[in-house]
Amino acid sequence: MTINRRDLALSTLAVSALALTSPALAASADEEAVAKKVEAFRLAQIAADPKALGALCWDDLSYSHSSGKVEDKATFVTNATDGKSKFLSIEYQDPTIKIVGPAAIVRFHWVAEQEMAADGKKVPTNLHILMNWQKQGDDWKLLSRAATKL
């Protein structure tokens, strides 16, 4: 059996079409939706916006800091917006998103700088972050977050 260029091109086209079936498109749409939520979360952290942070999180949020301190949703939102410090910058570098059913596993390198309100001291942070987002209807909410110092 010989395969000519036309047959090869048609088989390549068929394989490409199979790769674009609805599950692949759904995963891509979910990844995009989660990426938008992650960016909205970053911007809400910089703005210290309690309403935006609250809207992005599950009521049963478990938010773990690199110090080992764990906060529930109310405590996290209160502490993130109390004005004791402000973020001058937050970068989420090299993010990855993996959709697993109704869950999304998000990892990234966190590079940030905060300014402390009490003395104006600037504090850099360099962390590895793991976030777990869960789909609630058509929306994604942050269920848990863990940080490790680098």
Average confidence (pLDDT) over 10-21: 40
pLDDT of residue 6: 47
Q: Please compute, for residue 83, the number of CA atoms within 13 A of its CA located in the half-sphere on the CB side.
A: 0
Q: Please compute, for residue 75, the number of CA atoms within 13 A of its CA located in the half-sphere on the CB side.
A: 10
Tokens representing residue 106 in the block: 């998000």
Average confidence (pLDDT) over 64-79: 97
Note the pLDDT tens digit of each residue in 73-100: 999 999 999 999 999 999 999 999 999 9
Strands 122-136 and 139-149: antiparallel
**Domain residue ranges of the chain, discontinuous segments joined by +:** 29-149
Residue type, 79: N
pLDDT of residue 130: 98
pLDDT confidence band for 10 (50 / 70 / 90): very low
CA dist 62 and 71 (Å) reads: 6
Nearest one of 131, 127, 126, 135 to 146, comparing CA atoms: 131
pLDDT confidence band for 27 (50 / 70 / 90): low
Q: Supply the pTM of this predicted model.
A: 0.81
- pLDDT of 11 > 90? The answer is no
- pLDDT of 14 > 70? The answer is no
3-class SS letters over the chain: CCCCHHHHHHHHHHHHHHHCCHHHHHHHHHHHHHHHHHHHHHHHHHHCCHHHHHHHEEEEEEEECCCCCEECHHHHHHHHCCCCEEEEEEEEEEEEEEEECCEEEEEEEEEEEEEECCCCCEEEEEEEEEEEEEEECCEEEEEEEEEEEC
Note the pLDDT tens digit of each residue in 95-150: 999 999 999 999 999 999 999 999 999 999 999 999 999 999 999 999 999 999 99
pLDDT confidence band for 28 (50 / 70 / 90): confident
- pLDDT of 36 > 80? The answer is yes
Q: Which CATH number fits domain 29-149: 3.90.1150.10, 3.60.21.70, 3.40.50.1100, 3.10.450.50?
A: 3.10.450.50
